[in-house]
Structure 1
């Protein structure tokens, strides 16, 4: 795909009567960068460069459309089909067991996560995967943006990936993203105990045609599930996780609380654990809130301005 991208750039450049140096000047890169792209050598083009080339060469979005396929080659075979479907999904529901989902990661957090992958073969491949991950986030701000519902295991908040500064920026990113009406963030606290999705992350995609697929992933493997009966079982699992998690408004409070722990430099967050009781209701209280949340479209009333606990029923 990189070779195909390069051949299209060369053909369009020649048709436009431009030299490599002239094209580089118009797209604000050195001429050797254009040479690398046309020969499919060196680092692959970034999304910004693909857009610039497309605009200068009048490619009518051809190069931008090819760009995701160029980067997909940098990923393991088992993840490519999932990535293709995710780009077409209208609803994305994720349970994240270990790290913040890629659609909501900051660049520095993503770099720290990708750096430890056993499937990496070089720094260039790390840069390729990082650019691809950041490029996919554009969907969240585009006109065809999906509805995104994320349940984060508490472990995602407690593990300081990349250091405290990186985590603080990542929490700010989560809080900002959750302000959008099409993004919902919940936290599944440790005290909920065992659940059906332990051991890995789970994603359920709803496509424009109404088809649904599930995807489970561990550190170095992934499995796409397309059989409707199996997908339905994973939907039940996800709904249970969503019901057991803190409601959105309380989840954001917990994220802020843990972020304060990083601000204090307490690596083990001992202070936050002592403060949780004042903002996190009991399990029975959470279950009542969860039932209300699932009965309301998108849980928006609970996220903004609603009461944190339902009024007590009078004793009979």
Structure 2
């Protein structure tokens, strides 16, 4: 049985959307489960919308407006709630990370955004957008730095990151920037703000070789997975697929170096960069 935590509807457009959806659902006497059947989504979607765990979706908002006979009321609220400084494909994932209880990252190619230094983020954005204006690059870097406030929150989600050894040995921004980046990750780990493991080259093939993946768990509602490639991303909420991702993550974690050995390796690689 899903349930909804009570929120102040005037906290944000997203909270107002959730309150309105709950009000309309109560007026027609439908449970979250029955409503989800009418608009062809899972009950978890309805619970997430009403409790502000997940941003509302335009397609489902249209179906809800049609069902409730509310014109474009929920669709307009949806557009307001979804205003974001992030690319549309990442907006939902960025929002979900702020309410997750645990974040499990697998990073086969790059340091995840939450752990990046400013220099590393700048070098990465410049590499992917070589013709962008400097102010556009700096804007993207600043938004990434602002996301990292999540790690300063005492109620932050628990963050566990698996880095492939190749990430350590790809010097985005040059040796000095990369040394600083590795020291930054080590510092976060030693201050008990994150847990990090390195998957060494010796581990060879594994089930997560294809790309970045993040498993997110929540106090309310089922877990979800965010997968990302160069210019796109998607949320996976199918329970069977999420279980597959969890199993794969556990296998990779078992093949990785221990947290202590991982930090020692990162410090050693950082020292090598410092001598470059």
Smaller-chain TM-score bracket: 0.5 to 0.7
**Separation of aligned partners in 2, 1:211 and 1:130:** 31
Q: Who is 1:92 aligned against?
A: 103
* Kept in 2: contact 1:213–1:224 (CA 8 A): yes
Runs of 4+ in 1 over 4 A off after TM superposition: 118-121
Q: What is the aligned-residue RMSD (CA, Å)?
A: 2.0
**Separation of aligned partners in 1, 2:247 and 2:130:** 32
Residue 84 of structure 1 and its aligned partner are, at CA, apart by: 1.3
Q: Who is 2:257 aligned against?
A: 246
Q: Is 1:234 matched up with 2:245?
A: yes
Unaligned stretches of 5+ residues in structure 2: 1-80
**Separation of aligned partners in 2, 1:105 and 1:242:** 21
Q: Who is 1:110 aligned against?
A: 121
Of stretches 253-262 and 208-217 in structure 1, the one that deviates more from structure 2 is 208-217
SS at 1:98's partner residue? coil
- Normalising by structure 2, we get a TM-score of 0.67
* Kept in 2: contact 1:96–1:201 (CA 8 A): yes
Q: 2:160 aligns with which of 134, 149, 170?
A: 149
Residue 225 of structure 1 and its aligned partner are, at CA, apart by: 0.2
Q: Who is 2:192 aligned against?
A: 181
Q: 1:81 aligns with which of 92, 96, 108?
A: 92
Q: Is 1:212 matched up with 2:233?
A: no
Residue 217 of structure 1 and its aligned partner are, at CA, apart by: 1.3
- 1:105–1:253 Cα change, 3 Å: same
User: Residue by residue, what CA displacement relative to the aligned partner does 1:113-158 show, whole Å, maximum 9, x if unpaired?
Assistant: 1222359854333222211110111111112211000000001000
Q: Who is 2:177 aligned against?
A: 166
* Kept in 2: contact 1:160–1:167 (CA 8 A): yes
Unaligned stretches of 5+ residues in structure 1: 1-67, 266-316
SS at 1:216's partner residue? strand
- Normalising by structure 1, we get a TM-score of 0.59
**Separation of aligned partners in 1, 2:211 and 2:264:** 25
* Kept in 2: contact 1:120–1:126 (CA 8 A): no
Question: Could you say which structure has the greater relative contact order, defined with CA pairs below 8 angstroms and 6 or more residues apart?
Answer: 2
**Separation of aligned partners in 2, 1:95 and 1:152:** 6
* Kept in 2: contact 1:93–1:204 (CA 8 A): yes
* Kept in 1: contact 2:180–2:270 (CA 8 A): no
* Kept in 2: contact 1:118–1:220 (CA 8 A): no
* Kept in 1: contact 2:101–2:156 (CA 8 A): yes
Residue 86 of structure 1 and its aligned partner are, at CA, apart by: 1.2
* Kept in 1: contact 2:195–2:259 (CA 8 A): yes
